[in-house]
Amino acid sequence: MPSDVSLNLIELGHFCAYLAFAVAIVQMTAPIIARITHRPALAEISVNASVLVFLLTTIGALTIVYSFVTSNFSVRYVAENSNLQLPLFYKITALWGGHEGSLYLWTWILTLFNMAIGLHGRQRYPDRLPTILAVHGCLIVGFFGLVLFLSSPFTRLFPVPLNGNDLDPLLQDPGMAIHPPMLYLGYVGFSVPYAFAMAALLTKWRSEFWIGHVRRWALIAWGFLTAGIILGAWWSYYVLGWGGYWGWDPVENASFMPWLVGTALIHSITVQERRQMLHAWNIFLVITTFALSLLGTFLVRSGILSSVHAFAISPAQGTYILIFMMIVLVVSFAIFLVKGRYQQAREEWISPLSRESLFIWNNVVFTAAATCVLLGTLYPLAIEAMTSQRISVGPPYFNLVMVPIFLVMLVLMGVGPLVPWRKANFNKLRGRLIVPVILGLVMGIAMRLWFGPVRWTGPVAVALVSFVATTIIASFVRAVRLRRQQQAKREGVFAAAWSTFSGNRRLYGGMVVHMGILVIALGLTGSGLFQESKLVMMAPGNIVQVAGYRLRFDGVMHFHHANYFATQGRLRLLNDGALLTPERRVFSGNQMGISRPSINSNPLRDVYAVIGTSHDGKWAVHVYVNPLVNFLWFGGLIVLCGVGLSLSYRFRTARSRVDAGAPWSAPVK
């Protein structure tokens, strides 16, 4: 049994969480009081409060983790999500393994970004910082209200059980140590652009003084959300044993929607920076992206979804989140409608054949994609609420709608780098398009001839990937050639290429991201169109053949681990002698059985095996061959490298320019 110190330390964490809630209220109200009393110095309290609220929330998180590590089952959340046999690693990550703890992690990350804003803004935007922190403080207060009064991870349990239930077996995987925090960093990260946008509206902050900061914060959030989605797909593939990585599950869609709108936002900010356009539209995208992040929280925690990702809880928490989300939306758009006229564009006319025009079409496509996903996700819920009939909108709908949209995205991605700002020369553009178009057509036709009859999306996707890759490479080659001409060819080719690349890390970081997306597109095409599988009952010595790969079943072995019993299949891949060892695990805490696949990988394909239950001495064995699936993980890594490269570009504000508008904390005449 844990000591008295361990039993009662959780009360310290609970007390610190209440203190953090109180400090967040101070952070939220100090700038308002400063404005009412005409004492701007009071607004500075919010800056110090941003650090204190993070420290207090961190103490609360540490006491929860300590309760897991010491098996303090007097804490209800620990008793429900741990037991004595659970390995230490999973006791630590169990902090976000259940509903209450994952909400506390969300709130802790919110306070982390809150502190980062306070520290980052002291020198860069000190006059607007209290207003930004006031907006962010409202969000912290809202989530602490949920954590402390409806979903508390500090609730005690008496009498104290001798052992706990167990952590969900599906979450007992190293991927779950990384996937949820990354996803939450992405979700919560979009609260920072939201706070900037609200502060800009409330204080008439001119966009040229804040849009660069918003871009960096949005790119950071987008990078984390991308990492979370990729890791979630990887976890689904390596753990769930269904041979796939994305099933258009409603909770998967909940993470994909803010990613789509966030992508539109990042592209649209570029237009605002370069051409002083789309000011109001960008604020709309900021609000919408954060609202979709809140929607994801609602879908996961409302209890209205049946999903491996969702938490089965009472509807009270879902109702609270829904009300909170509606308040955020109504207040935000009300402020936007009243104050948005101060964010009007300076240049209204654009040529249809210009880079800014293509960026606008890019916005339209991404927004349309997010709308289609939103409709497909919420429509079944609306029908069930109105008629009590449960319907399903699954992969057939999403594939039918999203595949053409994704192909249009590739077209815009390829043409964009070739078109200049303001107005393009049609003849010059046509000359730059000839080689990429020809190469794309050749590659598409070659795929059709090589693989024979295949769905039209395959050759089209390969043609477009080839087209886009050629335009990106050609654009970089032209930049290197121009630099060498300017330097009178004093630089060698490789030196000029490096100087060009490193000299504009923001631009070429974006190109690296696009190349990563192309690699992912190849992975989606290969694994989606050419996957082959076979489910058979096998006795020792039987051989199964799938897509030219022959596997011999050599029986099973049994193992006892710390908290589960495993039946391990033995499958010999006769093509190269590799051994695959899929497992069927039964966990001692809740007697839940799950299948864990075994995968033989090379860069071009996976041989993926799953073992099921036995009958009459034979075992159910499911074998998949997934071509190019590893391109997804490799492409995701390239995307994240591109994000890091873009972030290495340092934004500098024009300090000499006059910033129109007064901060919220100062008197306004």
pLDDT digits (tens, 9 = 90+) for 540-571: 999 999 999 999 999 999 988 877 889 999 99
Same domain membership, residue 162 and residue 179: no
Do 544 and 476 share a structural domain? no
Q: Residue 554: phi, psi to the nearest 5?
A: -105, 15
Mean pLDDT of the chain: 87
Any domain includes 263: yes
Q: Scan for tokens 């101060």, then name that residue.
A: 342
- The whole domain housing 148 covers 1-167
Co-location of 262 and 132 in the same domain:
no
Q: C-alpha distances in angstroms, 101 versus 95, 206, 251, 293, 637?
A: 5, 40, 18, 18, 29
Give the model's pLDDT for residue 616. 85
* Residue 525, domain member (yes or no): no
Question: How far is it, in rounded angstroms, from Cα 539 to Cα 520?
Answer: 38
Count other C-beta atoms under 10 Å from residue 455's C-beta. Answer: 12
Q: Is the pLDDT of residue 296 over 70?
A: yes
**Residue 418 within any structural domain of the chain:** yes
Let me know: does 352 contact 286? Beta carbons within 8 Å. no
pLDDT digits (tens, 9 = 90+) for 273-285: 888 788 888 999 9
Q: What is the residue type of 219?
A: L
Radius of gyration of the chain (CA): 27
Mean pLDDT highest for which of 183-192, 289-298, 579-588? Answer: 183-192
Select from 352, 367, 379, 377 the least CA-distant residue to 405.
367
> Does a structural domain hold residue 651?
no
Q: How far is CA 404 from CA 253, 359, 456, 520, in A?
A: 18, 18, 11, 16
* 3 state SS of 105: helix
Count of the separate structural domains present in the chain = 4
In a domain, 646, yes or no: no
Q: Is 512 within the bounds of a domain?
A: no
The single residue listed with the structure tokens 């210009």 is 354
The per-residue pLDDT for range 412-438, each reduced to its tens digit, is 998 887 887 777 777 888 888 899 999
497: amino acid identity, one letter: A
Q: Are strands 532-538 and 618-627 parallel, antiparallel or unpaired?
A: antiparallel
* Residue where the block lists tokens 């993926």: 608
Instruction: Please report, for residues 356, 470, 665, the alpha-carbon distance to residue 509 in angstroms, rounded to integers and kept in the order given.
Output: 19, 17, 38
Task: Tell me, yes or no, whether 142 lies in a domain.
Answer: yes
Give the C-alpha separation, 422 to 277, whole Å: 12
Name residues whose C-beta falls within 8 Å of residue 108's C-beta, 6 or more positions apart in sequence.
57, 58, 60, 61
- DSSP state string for 200-235: HHHHT--GGGTHHHHHHHHHHHHHHHHHHHHHHHHH
Position 15 confidence tier, pLDDT thresholds 50, 70, 90? very high
Are both 495 and 545 inside the same structural domain? no
SS3 annotation, 151-208: CCCCCECCCCCCCCCCCCHHHCCHHHHCHHHHHHHHHHHCHHHHHHHHHHHHHCCCHH
CB-based contacts of 144, cutoff 8 Å, min separation 6? 17, 20, 21, 24, 107
Do 136 and 79 fall into the same domain? Answer: yes
Instruction: Tell me the two tokens of residue 33.
Output: 């009081």
Q: Is the pLDDT of residue 308 over 60?
A: no
Residue-wise pLDDT tens digits, 160-177 = 998 888 888 888 888 878
Indicate if 157 and 199 belong to the same structural domain.
no
In terms of Cβ atoms closer than 10 Å to its own Cβ (0-12, 13-18, 19+), residue 547 is: middle
All residues at 6 or more sequence positions from 112 whose CB lies less than 8 Å from its CB, including other chains: 54
* pLDDT at residue 309 tops 60: no
Report if residue 42 sits inside a domain: yes
Distance CA 247, CA 390 (A): 18
> Are 141 and 216 members of one domain?
no
Query: The whole model's pTM is what?
Result: 0.92
Residues 440 and 415 in one domain: no
Reference 78, options 62, 89, 66, 87; nearest CA is 66
Which tens digits make up the pLDDT trace of 55-94?
999 999 999 999 999 999 999 999 999 999 888 999 999 9
Contact 153, 215 (CB under 8 A): no
Do residues 469 and 599 both lie within one domain? no
217 and 325 housed in the same domain: yes
Q: Are residues 92 and 240 in the same domain?
A: no
* Domain final position from 115, 144, 167: 167
Residues with Cβ within 8 Å of residue 316, at least 6 apart in sequence: 150
- Report whether pLDDT(653) > 50: no
Residue 466 to residue 488: CA distance in whole angstroms: 33
Based on the domain organization, do 268 and 358 belong to the same domain? yes
Amino acid letter, residue 443: M
Query: Mean pLDDT lowest for which of 27-31, 40-44, 122-126?
Result: 40-44
Report d(CA 634, CA 636) in Å as an integer.
5
Query: Which residue, of 424, 457, 486, is where some domain finishes?
Result: 424
Last residue of a domain, one of 424, 453, 488: 424
The span from the CA of 339 to the CA of 356, in Å, is 25
